[in-house]
Amino acid sequence: MPKRTDISSILVIGAGPIIIGQACEFDYSGTQAIKALKEEGYRVILVNSNPATIMTDPDMADATYVEPISPEIVARIIEKERPDAVLPTMGGQTALNCALALFNDGTLEKYGVQMIGADADAIDKAEDRQRFREAMDKIGLSSARSGVAHTLEEAFAVLERTGLPSIIRPSFTMGGTGGGIAYNKAEFEAIVRSGLDASPTTEVLIEESLLGWKEYEMEVVRDKHDNCIIICSIENVDPMGVHTGDSITVAPALTLTDKEYQIMRTASIEVLREIGVETGGSNVQFAVNPKDGRLIVIEMNPRVSRSSALASKATGFPIARVAAKLAVGFTLDEIMNEITGATPAAFEPTIDYVVTKIPRFAFEKFKGAKDDLTTAMKSVGEVMAIGRNIKESMQKALRGLETGLDGFNRVIALEGAGRDVITAALSRATPDRLLNVAQAFREGFTVDEINAITHYDKWFLRHIEEIIAEETNILQHGLPIDAEGMRRLKAMGFSDKRLATLAVRSVGVAGGLGETQATRSGLLHDALRAMAGATSEKEVRQLRRKLGVVPVFKRIDSCAAEFEAITPYMYSTYEAPFFGEPEDEAAPSDRRKVVILGGGPNRIGQGIEFDYCCVHACFALAEAGYETIMVNCNPETVSTDYDTSDRLYFEPLTAEDVLEILRVEQSRGELVGVIVQFGGQTPLKLAQALEDEGIPILGTSPDAIDLAEDRERFSALVEKLGLRQPANGIARSRDEAVAVANRIGYPVLMRPSYVLGGRAMEIVDSEQQLDDYIATAVQVSGDSPVLIDQYLRDAIECDVDALCDGEQVVVAGVMQHIEEAGIHSGDSACTLPPYSLPADIIAEMERQAEALAFGLGVRGLMNIQFAVKNGEVYLIEVNPRASRTVPFVAKAIGQPVAKIASRVMAGEKLESFPPFKRDLPYMAVKEAVFPFARFPGVDPVLSPEMKSTGEVMGIDADFPTAFAKAQLGAGMRLPTEGTVFVSVKNSDKPMILPAIRTLIEQGFRVIATSGTQKYLADAGLPVELVNKVAEGRPHIVDRIVDGEVSLIFNTTEGWQSLKDSQSIRASALTAKVSIFTTAAASVAASEAIATIRGSQLEVRSLQDYYS
Amino acid sequence: MADAASSLAPKPEGATGVLVLSDGHVVWGRGFGHVGEAVGEVCFNTSMTGYQEVMTDPSYAGQIVTFTFPHVGNVGVNEEDLESIVDGAVGCIVREDVTLSSSFRSAGEYGQWLADKGKVGLSGVDTRALTRRIRMAGAPNAVIAHNPDGNFDIPALVARAKEWPGLVGMDLAKIVSREIQEGWEGSTWTLGTGYGAGEGSTRPHVVAIDYGAKDNIFRNLVKAGARVTVVPAETTLEDILSLEPAGVFLSNGPGDPAATGKYAVPVIQALLDRDIPIFGICLGHQMLGLAAGATTSKMHQGHRGANHPVKRLGDGVVEITSMNHGFAVDNTALPDNVEETHVSLFDGSNCGISIRGKRAFGVQYHPEASPGPQDSFYLFEKFVGMLG
């Protein structure tokens, strides 16, 4: 059946900012969908507030609205663009909820917009817990004993049936926000309250606990002809109780008999039919009792999801692309499987490898957060790894996580620990449970014992046990000296680095030598190497290659080699010889090629922005005629889509894995170079290893990057260039730190060297706080010094992104931060162009940027952070590589900055590209988005440590409106009436005064704590007094909890005041009250409120802005 | 040739198993299961579940199955997941060593079970490379051998592989077929209760000819409402008619349909002449085609897996099917009385026919699943529905 001709334009709703539970997988799916729809000749209109997405590139959709994804804004877009249809299934829960709201309020009907992919009833049926349950009953599938509650009273009535422990799931939320597992009544009440609150329909489902049951997911695709196919089955290694986004998962399902698998397969298809998902991809989740196979349907998502991105990458089947085609009327047999180019998409992919996904967490960023994994998702990223067996797959995933693991590293804390301690560690679901399991084997636990505690399936446990047994064998006998022995180890997934560690320890074990002694004894090195076989990753690599043991590359072909794959999508493995040599399918080309190293798993500080840059490098270099080769291990990304680059290696970003790829790629054609500057810290860390092997690096040299990161070298350069830095120093001990701080004068900014995302960075006000920082946040030593900077209080911070080709420097954008210096730049809102900086200051920053670019020898992108105080420009930091702000700048100025940078890195000159427009007749505001709601107990306050997961852009003619849009896009709806609560530190009071006056003029009532109240009252403003928490009840928190407050301005000075006011911010977060914790942002918010009050926000496409 | 090829692959330390192709190539690995050797055609199966069903499917008689999924044996073996008590595949090749099973249904380990069944296993092989070779060069004849002491007489094994005549022209059905008639009891499997019972002698009577049938076919017929009597492959027309069948079912089975057809086709033609409803699966489908005047031929690599898309030409619906066949009905030269009803979306080969003017149809794939998707159960209902 051909495509529909009764519709010609389609609105695609994106997912908005990256948040926990909704990450760049929706850029991947949305980008695929837009490409697929445009291929068919439809006019595509896109709304997405996230500028760091590929989908919002102006050449993707026909009309791109970087506007907040809220029903009233999307309604304005519909009114303006009059699309025939809306595709709501590509933008996660955000898009579904928005589309459903537009259906319910009559907007879709009013403008004659059809929902395609999934209709309102199907969405509602899948999302509404009660209706879903009834639907499952109807088709004879059992669900857990459960009930729906809208109030606490109803919840306790349901509890009578389910018993404890019970699982609470709020309706219509993504990633299980506000849900959890309750083991006692107090917990039950707390979780129900937060769940009711998180649910837009004030509804929670309470279910009997299925803790310990096995958990599975099925990715299903259906077309309008009722053809249904399963793309992939996924088995969670972590049993029920841990959100699937936080679980270690494998594909395909590995511990089901065919009879059980077919029950699940048939049930999945029946679920889609009953829910009424007409076309597209859905995800159905099951729990299976390991004792008797009893199967229960947990939930289904009538849209593409994180799991469908994983399934797409795991099988090579592009679910979103196919779903988009199905939505416009094609059937599966009419769509080609592009991987084979010869068979249709109407089939079920079959794979001949094992895929492992391990989530990555960021608990260390959130002081006070418990690292317990529950039914509410908390991970911020994930790694996927592919191996020919479970051992290889798991060990590749562990090293791909980039959390310092080379495999199943030892858990020192459990070494030699008592059984009760180990049992306790195993019984907790935490990010480290897999490692704890391995350690338990080392400590003598058996498979049965660990299974009884963790409910990990014994099949997985046995493979881990075998890995540990092999490690023990190496510890006793050293590394094998023959090819077969080495190949056997490599086929189990052991990294060279892990083998080196084990080899060194084997000498210690055999010779009674301490490990530290063994590694540090330089004189003993040769003797040690002779005994161990190798003592470093490099030596293991040399030994391995000498034995002829190298990995081969196999294709991900969706069909287990039944058909030829025309798409070079590959992973490495170690194979036995077959007809002579181990069979390698890499087949490198004879072209001129560039390898782009990606950013690995998303984490706070390194996310979609870097993937955006990598994808642009692929596009730009392909346009310039190079063969592009992508290496990455993050399944959520556009960069790991098989049609982003010419060749894709889905591999961990470690020196070993990358060097083996380069070995093969260099065997034919010409490797022009490797790009390491676009993927964040991940590829940069590999630069040295690549240089050591003589691999050419494109663009700015790794040495220049190191120069910029090395305090002492960089200071010398700054001095040479005559630029000003805040006073600073470096300390290698507590006493040195105190001395440096005293020299500079408090407050100072302290951080460890070599960081991204401001990890463990703090503003320190006193010696007491300095001691606390050194005791808790960092380990200060000769190897890891701590950096101390003068903290420029109340300075304005700026970001400058610039390009340099060695002869010319072009500034792409100057961004003025709204929050003052000291808040991590990734967490600050900012504007482009600057909203209040004088021209001479901007010119001075541009001058300094140019001097630095030449001074560092930048080829490509660079980012500089400045602070401006009292008319002076201070240089804070330079990064001669792609920065987090590149996509925002590109979207704001309408220029493909990363693409131009890529081509400059490959040797082209800036003058060959059209100049950037400098006078923008509009303002773009970037705002950060935070996951505080996911981490109860964490103070939602901004600091030098980055905590945001994503960003949005607001764009409009003036700053206040753009700011209001940015807030709305970030989920903070500025109130236009009500009560504002103000409590600000003394130095902020003069600044806040006019803002409060503005709000009073707008009709706001103002309440304030004593100091602020007195100041404002003295200035003649009608401000009521409210008690601080310590001053007795009713106090400010009571007023917030009662819903009396609609806006909060709360700034603090010093950590005591910060501690005292934590409950204010916490209650604001829970009550979803707009809160600003800096004076500058408070002022901006007041202006924005005054501007938008009484008027409607207008929408305009990027294409329109740029023309 | 043989010596040159085997010298390319010197025996690695610890090799206890080997696959020796008739062209002299040698693939070393670790033997498991039965100690000994077996000759057959090497095919590959891409299903990710259901190894026990595959290994007990009589259609694999004379074959060595390469499992493309690397981990096999994960869920062990049990008494229920058997498709037949006769010998199917003579051996299997897997990439990974089989580890202890984990399943509440497991009653034993795969390796021991293979040994008990006299089937040879070979692990540690790059099964993907082997599969690609089969895709490019066709399914080779080979000997699979397992010897714990690692001693193999390679030239003798090559000679044995070479001497083996191959599947073309081979009538294996009569070897794997039942020897005596049997009243079938039992319906399909459900979780928690196992196999259901067939009920009632008033149901329409289907006589099922066993050319090497999978038991799940009979269970599906019972589930669809039939009473089933299974008869041996070489049962005469008279004996079939004496059972007073309301319909006749032609089962799957191994080997060359043309060979088995020599005695089976005349019987089928006579049944067609009497307008008795007929349903054929796989080999049965091919022989129905032969009986109606179509021809069959050997495919390059065959279809074996649980993910094969088949288009139902009547309404365009796609069924995901389980397949296991190395021969096919030629759809380029179908006689007028044969209507093509299903076609493979992978390669356009024939997957279903019906005989014009008769109540007779067949499908090349396996609607009884086991292993594989259960999308096509409707065919059993359609057949039983014809039985008036």
What is the average per-residue pLDDT within A89-112?
A: 96
Is there a common fold for A9-116 and A145-209? no
Instruction: List chain B pLDDT tens, one digit each, 388 residues.
Output: 444 444 457 888 889 999 999 999 999 999 999 999 999 999 999 999 999 999 999 999 999 999 999 999 999 999 999 999 988 999 999 999 999 999 999 999 999 999 999 999 999 999 999 999 999 999 999 999 999 999 999 999 999 999 999 999 999 999 999 999 999 999 999 998 999 987 667 899 999 999 999 999 999 999 999 999 999 999 999 999 999 999 999 999 999 999 999 999 999 999 999 999 999 999 999 999 999 999 999 998 899 999 999 999 999 999 999 999 999 999 999 999 999 999 999 999 999 999 999 999 999 999 999 999 999 999 999 999 999 7
Asked if the C-beta of A389 comes within 8 angstroms of chain B's C-beta atoms, the answer is yes
Flag if A575 and B131 touch (Cβ within 8 Å). no
Flag if A576 and B12 touch (Cβ within 8 Å). yes
Select from 1.10.10.10, 3.40.710.10, 1.10.1030.10, 3.40.50.1110 the CATH code of A396-546. 1.10.1030.10
pLDDT per residue over A924-959, tens digit each? 999 999 999 888 788 888 888 899 999 999 999 999
A155 close to A188: Cβ distance less than 8 angstroms: yes
Mean pLDDT over the full length of chain A = 93
A757 pLDDT band (50/70/90 cuts)?
Answer: low
pLDDT number for residue B337: 97
The residues, ordered by sequence, that sit 6+ positions from A914 with a Cβ below 8 Å of its Cβ are none
Asked if the C-beta of A469 comes within 8 angstroms of chain B's C-beta atoms, the answer is no
Query: In terms of DSSP H, where are the helices of A762-879?
Result: 767-776, 839-856
Q: What percent of chain A has pLDDT over 90?
A: 78
pLDDT per residue over A143-164, tens digit each? 888 888 999 999 999 999 888 8
Domain A9-116 adopts which CATH fold? Rossmann fold (3.40.50)
- Most A CBs within 10 A among B47, B65, B71, hence the mutation to make, goes to B71
Question: Interface pTM (ipTM) of the complex?
Answer: 0.97
Could you give the CA distance from residue A833 to residue A959 in angstroms, rounded to a whole number? 10
| Chain B residues touching residue A237 (CB < 8 angstroms) | none
Asked if the C-beta of A350 comes within 8 angstroms of chain B's C-beta atoms, the answer is yes
pLDDT number for residue A1094: 83
Three-state SS for A1100? coil
Domain A796-957 classification at class level:
alpha beta
B297 close to B379: Cβ distance less than 8 angstroms: no
B373 to chain A, closest Cα gap in Å: 6
pLDDT number for residue A777: 64
B92 catalytic? Reply is: no
A543, A664, A670, A695 from A667: Cα distances, Å: 20, 5, 9, 13
What is the average per-residue pLDDT within A558-569?
A: 94
What is the average per-residue pLDDT within A770-783?
A: 73
| Chain A residues touching residue B9 (CB < 8 angstroms) | 577, 579-580
Flag if B105 and A255 touch (Cβ within 8 Å). no
Scanning B190-229 for CB atoms below 8 A from A yields 191-192
Task: Count other C-beta atoms under 10 Å from residue A589's C-beta.
Answer: 15
- Does domain A976-1092 fall under CATH 3.40.50.1380? My reply is yes
pLDDT number for residue A869: 93
pLDDT per residue over A703-755, tens digit each? 998 899 887 899 899 999 999 999 988 888 889 999 999 999 998 988 886 55
Tell me whether strands A627-632 and A647-650 are parallel, antiparallel or unpaired: parallel
A925 close to A954: Cβ distance less than 8 angstroms: yes
Asked if pLDDT for residue A547 goes beyond 80, the answer is yes
| Packing angle, helices A92-104 and A120-127, rounded to 10 | 120
Closest CA relative to residue B279, chosen from B177, B351, B379: B379
Scanning B225-284 for CB atoms below 8 A from A yields none
Instruction: Say which range, A80-94, A197-211, B210-224, B340-354, has the weakest mean pLDDT.
Output: A197-211
Three-state SS for A463? helix
pLDDT number for residue A758: 54
Q: Please tell me what DSSP assigns to residue B366.
A: B
What is the average per-residue pLDDT within A636-647?
A: 97
Amino acid residing at A574: Y
Strand partners, A1074: A1047
Catalytic residue among B43, B282, B285, B342: B282
Which residue segments constitute the domains of chain B, with CATH numbers given?
2-163 (3.50.30.20), 173-385 (3.40.50.880)
Dihedral, CA of residue B211, residue B214, residue B215 and residue B217, to nearest 10:
-90
Residue A110 φ then ψ, to 5°: -55, -40
Instruction: Say which range, A447-456, A759-768, A801-810, A1067-1076, has the weakest mean pLDDT.
Output: A759-768
pLDDT per residue over A317-375, tens digit each? 999 999 999 999 999 999 999 988 889 999 999 999 999 999 999 998 888 888 999 88
Task: Give the length of chain A.
Answer: 1107
A467, A884, B208 from B229: Cα distances, Å: 52, 73, 6
pLDDT number for residue B5: 46
DSSP annotation string for A541-595: HHHHHHTT---EEEE--SBTTSS---S-EEEEE----SSSSPP------SSEEEE
Instruction: Say which range, A167-171, A376-380, A471-475, has the weakest mean pLDDT.
Output: A167-171
Instruction: Say which range, A31-40, A492-501, A819-828, has the weakest mean pLDDT.
Output: A819-828
Count residue pairs from A and B with Cβ separation < 8 A: 204
Domain A145-209 classification at class level:
alpha beta
pLDDT per residue over A296-311, tens digit each? 999 999 999 999 999 9
pLDDT number for residue A1055: 67
Asked if the C-beta of B366 comes within 8 angstroms of chain A's C-beta atoms, the answer is no
pLDDT number for residue B2: 41
Asked if the C-beta of A545 comes within 8 angstroms of chain B's C-beta atoms, the answer is no
Cα end-to-end span (Å), chain A: 39
Could you give the CA distance from residue A639 to residue A24 in angstroms, rounded to a whole number? 10
pLDDT number for residue A763: 82
Asked if pLDDT for residue A781 goes beyond 70, the answer is no
Asked if the C-beta of A488 comes within 8 angstroms of chain B's C-beta atoms, the answer is no
Asked if pLDDT for residue A237 goes beyond 50, the answer is yes
CATH number of A728-789: 3.30.1490.20
Scanning A284-323 for CB atoms below 8 A from B yields 290-295
Closest CA relative to residue A218, chosen from A256, A287, A175, A265: A265
Asked if the C-beta of A391 comes within 8 angstroms of chain B's C-beta atoms, the answer is no
Q: Is A224 exposed, middle or buried (0-12, 13-18, 19+ CB in 10 A)?
A: middle
Cis peptide before A683 (omega within 30 of 0): no
DSSP annotation string for A36-105: HHHHTT-EEEEE-S-TT-STTSTTTSSEEE-----HHHHHHHHHHH--SEEE-SSSHHHHHHHHHHHHHT
pLDDT number for residue A258: 97
pLDDT number for residue A106: 97
Could you give the CA distance from residue A544 to residue A555 in angstroms, rounded to a whole number? 23
Tokens coding A545: 């290659």
Catalytic residue among B41, B53, B319, B368: B368
Cis peptide before A896 (omega within 30 of 0): no
A1 pLDDT band (50/70/90 cuts)?
Answer: low
pLDDT number for residue B388: 74
| Chain B residues touching residue A259 (CB < 8 angstroms) | 80-81, 105, 189, 191, 370
Scanning B282-301 for CB atoms below 8 A from A yields 301
Could you state, in order of their start, the residue ranges of all structural domains in chain A?
9-116, 145-209, 396-546, 728-789, 796-957, 976-1092
What is the average per-residue pLDDT within A782-800?
A: 85
A522 pLDDT band (50/70/90 cuts)?
Answer: low
